[in-house]
């Protein structure tokens, strides 16, 4: 199995630390700078740097990384966020779990002191709706620590920001793709070190609209009115 690492990044002060940690494990890395205010500058033989001229969203950055991975001959890729939350040492768990045509989700251990209650609630809320949309019970549908097959490029994904990570699960499931999760450790920083570009108003509205659309699609598929 050929795989690589895709790191979408937008204005992260921790990108150098994340990359240095990944390089300890000799992975081929694709960094996608999603229009950061200060351009990411990296020069290393194991790193492919892709740039968006403007911020296009995390989902679009992941798809850019997927296209590059496919062009380089990889069959799959692992996504890891640029905020230090995901641990390079845990990637091997996703690699060992992977099967063809499968999305593997790193189910983060939230039993840490710095995990806010809002994040715990948000994860449960998301898991509930994704269960209705995919008929699969998953532990961490908000996790960005995942292993994807490059075949997700064939899905007709419309949502390219944080809602991408929900839509890709539903559309993959509609095409009879497998989704599995595996328990992983993570680092959840204290509040003053935490970075997030999630807009609590705009992005929650996007997610609510997406869940409504996906529930409707699932109903139509069940009734035979829609083909995937």
For 144-172, what is each residue's pLDDT tens digit?
999 999 999 999 999 888 789 999 999 99
Mean pLDDT, all residues of the chain: 87
Instruction: Show me where the domains of the chain are located.
Output: 3-223
pLDDT band of residue 22 (cuts 50, 70, 90) is very high
Q: Is the pTM of this model over 0.95?
A: no
pLDDT band of residue 31 (cuts 50, 70, 90) is very high
CATH topology of domain 3-223: Spore Coat Polysaccharide Biosynthesis Protein SpsA; Chain A (3.90.550)
Confidence at residue 206, expressed as pLDDT on a 0 to 100 scale: 73
- Helices then strands (H, E): number in the chain? 6, 7
69-96, pLDDT tens digit by residue? 999 999 999 999 999 999 999 999 999 9
Distance CA 99, CA 57 (A): 28
Beta carbons of 228 and 171 less than 8 angstroms apart: yes
């Amino acid at each position: 199995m050929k795989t690589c690492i895709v790191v979408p990044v937008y204005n992260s002060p921790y990108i150098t630390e994340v990359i240095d940690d990944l390089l300890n494990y000799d992975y081929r890395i694709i960094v996608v700078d999603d229009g950061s205010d200060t351009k990411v500058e990296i020069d290393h033989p194991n790193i492919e740097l892709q740039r968006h001229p403007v911020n296009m969203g995390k989902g679009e950055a992941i798809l850019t990384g997927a296209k590059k991975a496919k062009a380089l001959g990889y069959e799959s890729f692992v996504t890891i966020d640029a905020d230090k939350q995901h641990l390079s040492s845990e990637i091997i768990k996703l690699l060992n779990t992977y099967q063809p045509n499968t999305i593997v989700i790193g189910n983060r251990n939230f039993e840490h002191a710095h995990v806010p209650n809002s994040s715990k609630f948000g994860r449960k809320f998301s898991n509930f709706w994704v269960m209705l949309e995919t008929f699969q019970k998953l532990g961490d549908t908000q996790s960005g620590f995942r292993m994807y097959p490059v075949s997700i490029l064939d899905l007709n994904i419309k949502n390219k920001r944080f809602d991408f990570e929900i839509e890709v699960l539903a559309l993959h499931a509609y095409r009879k793709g497998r989704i599995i999760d595996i328990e992983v450790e993570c680092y959840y920083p204290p509040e003053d070190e935490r970075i997030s570009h999630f807009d609590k108003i705009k992005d929650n509205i996007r997610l609510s609209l997406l869940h409504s659309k996906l529930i409707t699609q699932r109903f139509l598929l069940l009734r035979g009115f829609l083909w995937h």
